[in-house]
Every structure is written in structure tokens, then in C-alpha cells.
Amino acid sequence: MSKAQNIYDDPDFFDGYKKLRANRYSANNLEEKPALFSLSPDLHGKAVLDLGCGYGENCAEFQALGAVAVLGVDISEKMLAVATAKHPDIEFICADMSDLSFLSRKFDVVFSSLALHYIEDFGAFAKDVYGLLNDGGHFIFSQEHPLTTAPLGGASWTRDSEGQVLHYNLSDYARGGKRSTRWIVDGVEKYHRTFSEIVNALVDAGFTIEKMLEPVPTQETIERDKSWEKDLHKPNFLLIKAMKR
């Protein structure tokens, strides 16, 4: 397996990403985070692992929701420098989550927010996560929607002469594998998987799927800014809650 890309340590990417996340009306804040936390079980007394934790914002929220032990893992030293400065009481490890054999303890809940599209072998990853969970534990993740990761040339929409979105340009859906696209900088590597590939990898690892979400903007968000309406053609995110029985 090839070595995972660590694009968040690229200085230009890191600065651009910081600006995106500073926007309170980002898709993360309006669509992804509310959906992710809506899937969370009661975290009181729970041991929680956050894979691809970034700035550690979710880790802090898990702690505030009652988790007794929270561990954040991320490949990027720059992201973890922010995380450790903001949340000195939380444990963070800098590591590539494509191989989780460095972890020997078990967890009640494993979260991963918007990082799994960077993982090449999702089947092996799902098996690793299954092995890290206590019986009855949950794996809850969000990722870029498979309709977003599909086009080889990146996501695009067809618009009318007034610039109104007519439809999303879906292509290459059944061509799984690496995508090298421009997002903040050129050459950002992600992996496209179909719905069936994602679902079957979880089932093959032993998981029971409890819920899937494809959040869309609220009516209030669309009324404030019409440009959000295009997410009704294609959701930005896919979220899955799976359980180890």
C-alpha cells in the first residue's frame, strides 16, 4: 500500500484550510457537525477515539458530552499543534490511521469526521476499527459524499445563462480508486468508493449498520443564501453509524 499523503502539513494548504474553517457558515458547521453529533450515543463514562481529529474540536466536544477518555489521532503535525495548544488536557497521537496496529487499548465509540476519503484501503481500515471497539461499541463517521468523490475531474455543476444551477455533473461513479484534485491546492489525493463498497466493507468487517445520513441545508440556510440550494441536487456528506454486536 502506498504511503498516505499528508496534505494538511503543506503550508499553503494549511493556511487555506484555516480560512475555510474560520467561516461560521461553512458546510462543516451547517451540515456535517450537526449530523455527526445527532448520531452520537450517550458518551457519559465512555472511551472515545477520534481518527483524523484535526484541530481536536470534536474531541473537546466528546469530553464535554461526558466521555472519560478521549484520544485524537491525526497524521498532520500542524493540525495537532493547534489541537494540543487549544486542548492541553486531551491526548493526541500523530500517526497515519491507515494502520491502527499501534493502538492496543479498546474504545466504546470510534468517530472519524471527514477524513476517511483520504484512506486507500477502507476494508482493512473497517476491520482495524472493529478490532479496537468493545462489544456494543459504535463506529460513527462522515466522509465526502460518494457522488462528490466520483468525477475524475472533481465536482462541477451545469448552470443556465443566469448562473442558476441546473444539475450536478455526475461521472465515473463506478470507477473506484484514487482521485487527484484541486482543493485549496493542486494534487490533493482522495479515494472514491461507491455506496455498496462502503457498506459491504463495514458488513464484511462484522458491523451492523444502524443509520445513514446525507445532510442537506435547512430552509433557513437556503433563504439566507440561495447558493446552498445546489446541495439539494447532491449532498456534500455521507454519514454512517455502525455497531459492533
Ligand X SMILES: C[S@@+](CC[C@H](N)C(=O)[O-])C[C@H]1O[C@@H](n2cnc3c(N)ncnc32)[C@H](O)[C@@H]1O
105 to 124, contacts with ligand X by CB under 6 A? 113-115, 118
- Provide CB contacts within 8 A for 92, sequence distance 6+: 53, 56, 59, 71, 72, 73, 74, 80, 83, 84
Nearer to ligand X, 98 or 148 (CB): 98
- Across the beta sheet with 69-74, the strand order is 91-94, 69-74, 47-51, 107-113, 133-144, 237-243, 208-213
Nearer to ligand X, 16 or 165 (CB): 16
Q: Which of 214, 174, 177, 172 minimizes the C-alpha distance to 192?
A: 177
Q: φ, ψ for residue 15 (rounded to 5)?
A: -65, -45
Binds ligand X (CB under 6 A): choice among 37, 65, 96, 99: 96
Nearer to ligand X, 47 or 115 (CB): 115
Q: How many CB atoms lie within 10 A of CB 204?
A: 12
Nearer to ligand X, 4 or 165 (CB): 4
E strand or H helix that includes residue 180: strand 177-183
Binds ligand X (CB under 6 A): choice among 10, 31, 57, 108: 57
Residue span 65-94 as binding mask against ligand X, x where in contact by CB under 6 A, dash where not: --------xxxx--x---------------
Query: To the nearest whole angstrom, how small is the minimum distance from the Cβ of residue 149 to ligand X?
Result: 13
Residue span 178-217 as binding mask against ligand X, x where in contact by CB under 6 A, dash where not: ----------------------------------------
Query: To the nearest whole angstrom, how small is the minimum distance from the Cβ of residue 166 to ligand X?
Result: 29
Cβ contact 227:120 at 8 Å: no
Size of the site for ligand X (CB under 6 A): 20
Binds ligand X (CB under 6 A): choice among 39, 47, 70, 97: 97
Nearer to ligand X, 190 or 244 (CB): 190
- Per the structure block, which three cell numbers stand in for 162? 443566469
Question: Any idea which residue has 466504546 for its cell?
Answer: 108
Residue span 8-47 as binding mask against ligand X, x where in contact by CB under 6 A, dash where not: x---------------------------------------
Residue 25 is classified by DSSP as T
Nearer to ligand X, 113 or 236 (CB): 113
- Per the structure block, which three cell numbers stand in for 106? 479498546
Residue number with the smallest Cβ distance to ligand X: 54
Q: Which of 13, 55, 12, 6 minimizes the C-alpha distance to 33?
A: 55
Nearer to ligand X, 53 or 205 (CB): 53
- Per the structure block, which three cell numbers stand in for 34? 450537526
Contact residues for ligand X, defined by CB under 6 A = 4, 8, 52-55, 57-58, 73-76, 79, 96-98, 113-115, 118
